[in-house]
Structure formats: structure tokens, C-alpha cells
Amino acid sequence: MREDQFVIGVDYGSDSVRSVLINVHNGDEIASSVFNYPRWQQGLFCKPADNQFRQHPLDYIEGLETTIKDCLAQAGGADIAKAVKGLSIDTTGSTPIAVDKTGTPLALTPGFEQNPNAMFILWKDHTSVLEAAQINEHATKFDTNYLKYVGGIYSSEWFWAKLLHIVRVDAQVHEALHSWVEHCDWIPFLLTGGTDVKEIKRGRCSAGHKALWAEEFGGLPSDEFFSSLDPLLTGITAKLFTDTYTADEAAGTLSPEWAERLGLSTDVIVGTGAFDAHMGAVGGQIEPYHLSKVMGTSTCDILVAPTAEIGDKLVAGICGQVNGSVIPGMTGLEAGQSAFGDTYAWFKNVVLWPLNNLLSQSTVIDAATAEALKAEMAELIIPELSRQADLLPLDFDNELSIDWFNGRRTPDANQELKGAITGLGLGSDAPRVFRSLAEATCFGARSIVERFISEGIPVKGIIGIGGVAKKSPFVMQMMADVLGMPIRIHQFKHTCALGAAMFAAVVAGIYPTVEDAMQAMGRGFDVEYYPNKANEATYTARYNKYKTLGNFIAQQIAKSAQTVTDNSVLA
């Protein structure tokens, strides 16, 4: 009789961390647990108006320990724990942090505990827009095209722009900083008991897509590239890395400290980390030339193709193409939208503003009832808006929105762009505006598909995973209509965590390849949305209108920025 073996997948999202305990032989979920970051929930260390979003490492550590222990407790405790063979993690990205020479985040060292610049700089932190623009301009001065594998445009969401911004604005952090580490690289280092920053195994995924690492360059761009960009970066490459590791390679084994904290064995093998969407694509059983869309607060779209078939082909305006970043032996291509679920959440907050800000002043109901009412309405608002929006007729002249509420990730990254709503009239109620926002996110998805196709990369199908994909039939049907393509929704709830578990099974030696783990542990698809041909012509016409409006907004923002620059020069 086959002995049961288990692995743990840990998925760090923007708002919470979730862990799953998986049976490696069939992919069955034995237990799962979710932990909301407490400091993040309180809005600590963030300034949304300034595009500053920081997360404290304690949120990550507490969530890691809580969710894994909870999974083991649900499953039966020590007996199950003995059968756990591997553990892998994924995180958002690019979400880097300054560390000292021991690899300890500065926020965990004396004097930096409350300093946002010493914390993880979340992917959607856009305080480094200026630095990204300077990197793009600077790159044109070199014979080597260091941006060729990141779509030709460097983003403020990424590794180097964030590092440059932090060392410029915070001299204390700059002085104490010994290295700069992605969240997905730091957690495995933590779990394996690392004490020397030089020993951190940097993932191929994060290094290639966000840090300009490439096999062709023999590692990172030269020190000259960075020191001539800003003398503050002189010598920084020597403090970073040259080699990278794919996620099917081990980072080490659980340290005695973490084995005791979690109730696991020191024999548990810990995998090299990667980004959530990349492991999510594996959990969602990605196929070559099928676009895996992880749809949550933002979207991250992943496509894989055999490296031999890609050859020297470069795709402009995406978030990178890296050999082995998703599945070894294939090139992983990444795109995405900077705001997806965040767009709906923004509108939800706008609609709920009176309840959230005025209900406490009510003399009609007591405080407890007011809080209960707010919580109830918060749960009902998006489902009801979706239901009412779905009843509205599709018309060319409906309200129209642009989905750049957190800038534009793909195609052609530009985090200075802003969202817009047009075509408003006195009849424009909440469901009509919500429908236009949903359409905008679907139009943004179509622009990504069209970019891949125009650059010679076919898109043969769409795979939907993540919270929005599972929870919103309204948005998914609209997306199928807008794209003119069927969308398969993966049945597993925590697909990114499942992908991490699949990698854990490979690093533990249970399966020889990622493809084998996907075949054995994949859970398949439970819903498929087919495009309604009757809507095709109208959506295409509205999509063209969306592109025209978007081009106009981009031009106006560029003119405004140029005017500010010219006035500064004159002053």
C-alpha cells in the first residue's frame, strides 16, 4: 500500500498569506489556512495618495507560522507532519527589501522598526516613477540593450527603480543596506536558517523579470551601468548576485528553529522561491501558448513557449521573457494589468463612503448596529452591482472607462497614467459606472492578448485563476465576449499555493519534473465561459473607442508632464 506523502505550498498575496497542505499523489487539499496581514489591514506604513505601499516583515513571518501550524492542526497534527516532504513559497513581486549582511531585513533591526523605507516595498508601490524613467533614459546610452528581455521599458514596480528611490530618500537605510532582496528569495532563506546574505539563492523568476538578470549578460548589468546612473549605486552589483536558480531547485532544508516552530522535520526540503503568478500558472496547469491570467488585485498574465521555438524573438512592451522562469526548458513571458480587482475595490469604497464615514454619527442606530450594517453592505455591494450591471443592455454609447487606476503595466509600462470615466450623464448610476469599469478591465486584457499576437506569439487559449476568476461570473463572461475566446476556470481555490506545492513535490524528489507534478497533482477545470457571438461587433467597436480614449489620455498626461518640466527649467 502506497504511503501518503504531503507537501506544503505557501502563497503570499497583497492582503494575506495562504498555505495549503496537499497530498502529492493526487493533489487533494488536506487543509488550507489564510492569514490577513494585521499591520497592512490597519493601513500602517502606507500612503495611498502618494502611491506608497509598504509591508512589515513581521506580517509575513506571523502569517507563515500561523497558517502552516493551522494546516497541520486541521489535518491531524504530528502524524501528518511526519509525512510532509517539501515546502515551497511564492510571493507578489517585485516586492524587495533592504537587508544587512546577515540577510536580516532592516525593519527587524534596532532603529528601523517603524521606518517604511526599511520594509518590503510592495509591488504596487509607485514612489519610484522618476527613477524608472531615468533607468529607461540611461539605458539608451549603452551598446548593450539591458532592457531587451523586459519588453524594452523598465517599470517603477520593479527591483532597481525601488532600490534607487530608497537610497536617495533615506540616508540611514542607504548606510545600513548591505543588499537588496526580493520577498520570494528571502522567505526560503529565512526558513533554511541563513545567516549570510551572500548565501541567499536568488530565483530565476524574480531576477530575470524584474532585476535585469540575463544569461546573455552573464548575470546583472555591469557596475558601470548603475554607478553612472547614480553614484549611490556604485559597487551595488558586488553585493547582489550572479547565479540564479529555477523553482524546481532546492534552497535547503528547514532549519532546526523553524522545524520546531512549525512542528515539522528538519528533513523537509525548501524550494527556491518565485512570484505568485508564475507558480500559479503551474498550479493552473498551463499549456504552451495558453495565457494564464491570475486575476486578483491586479492581473499577472503568464504564457510559456518552448525556448527553442522562441529563439531570438523579443516581445515589446511586456514584463519580461526569461528561460526557465515558469517551467524549466520553456521561456516564460509575463504581462499584466496594474489594477484589476483593485479597480472594483476602489469603486466599492467610493460607493460605501457615506456608510464608512457618516454612519458613526447617526442618532438613529447604535454603534454596534452601525458596524454590523457596514460589514453587511460591504459584502453585498459588488455582487449586487454585478447583478444589476449584467441586466443593462450592451450599447456602443454606454459609459466608457479606462482601467489605469494604478498606472499601466502592459502593454508598454507607464505608471504615470491615470484611470478615466467618460460618457457620464444624469442617468449614469452606480451599476452603469460599474459596468464600464468591468469592461475597461476586460479591454485591458484584450490589449495584452493583441500585443502577444502582433509580436508573433500566438495565444491559443485563456486560463483563469485567482479570486475574481472564481467569484465573478459576470466579469468572466464579459471577458470571454471581449476577447472572443473561451476561458477555462481552474477549479482549485488557492491555485498559486497549489503551484507552490507542485514545486515542493519536485524539490523533494517525489516527481522528476514540473510537468510530472502538474499531471499528477492537477485538479482540472470546473467552469468554462464561451463568447457570445451576438456581442462581438459591439464590444469590438467599444474596444476601439477605449483605445482612442486611452491614447488621448496618455498624450494629455505626457503634455502636462512636459509643461511641468519646462516650467522647472525656466524657474
In a domain, 428, yes or no: yes
- Whether the Cβ atoms of residue 88 and residue 9 lie closer than 8 Å to each other: yes
In a domain, 329, yes or no: no
Residue 136, judged by CB atoms within 10 A of its CB (0-12, 13-18, 19+), counts as middle
Closest C-alpha among 196, 200, 212 to residue 163 = 212
- Whether the Cβ atoms of residue 339 and residue 403 lie closer than 8 Å to each other: yes
Q: Give the predicted TM-score (pTM) of the model.
A: 0.92
Three-state secondary-structure class, residue 239: helix
Q: Which three cell numbers stand for residue 312?
A: 531570438
Tell me which residue range forms the domain holding 28: 6-284+492-526
pLDDT at 467: 86
* CA dist list (Å): 215 to 322, 333, 523: 9, 16, 34
The count of structural domains within the chain is: 2
Looking at the structure, tell me whether residues 391 and 455 fall in a common domain. yes
Looking at the structure, tell me whether residues 12 and 153 fall in a common domain. yes
In a domain, 319, yes or no: no
Looking at the structure, tell me whether residues 371 and 247 fall in a common domain. no
Looking at the structure, tell me whether residues 169 and 35 fall in a common domain. yes
Q: Give the CA diameter of the chain.
A: 81
* CA dist list (Å): 348 to 251, 296, 518: 41, 15, 37
* CA dist list (Å): 121 to 96, 173, 203, 290: 6, 13, 18, 31
Looking at the structure, tell me whether residues 477 and 402 fall in a common domain. yes
Residues of the chain with pLDDT under 70: 1-2, 564-571
Q: Catalogue the E-assigned strands of 358-460.
A: 400-402, 420-422
pLDDT at 1: 40
CA distance 408 to 400: 17
Looking at the structure, tell me whether residues 71 and 178 fall in a common domain. yes
In a domain, 313, yes or no: no
Looking at the structure, tell me whether residues 232 and 366 fall in a common domain. no
CA distance 389 to 327: 39
In a domain, 290, yes or no: no
Residues 6+ apart with CB under 8 A from 197: 99, 100, 101, 102, 103, 178, 179, 181, 239
| CATH number of the domain bearing residue 345 | 3.30.420.40
- 450-496: per-residue pLDDT in tens? 999 999 999 999 999 988 999 999 999 999 999 999 999 999 989 99
- Whether the Cβ atoms of residue 110 and residue 390 lie closer than 8 Å to each other: no
In a domain, 333, yes or no: no
pLDDT at 564: 61
Looking at the structure, tell me whether residues 67 and 183 fall in a common domain. yes
Looking at the structure, tell me whether residues 160 and 73 fall in a common domain. yes
Looking at the structure, tell me whether residues 112 and 165 fall in a common domain. yes
- 107-148: per-residue pLDDT in tens? 999 999 999 999 999 999 999 999 999 999 999 999 999 999
Looking at the structure, tell me whether residues 503 and 456 fall in a common domain. no
pLDDT at 562: 74
Looking at the structure, tell me whether residues 362 and 225 fall in a common domain. no
Give the per-residue SS3 of 27-43. Answer: CCEEEEEEEECHHHHCC
Q: Which residues of 69-90 are buried (b: 16+ CB within 10 A; e: fewer)?
A: bbbbeebeeeebbebbbbbbbb
In a domain, 40, yes or no: yes
In a domain, 320, yes or no: no
| Alpha helix (H) residue ranges in 26-128 | 38-41, 57-75, 78-81
pLDDT at 125: 96
Q: How many CB atoms lie within 10 A of CB 318?
A: 29
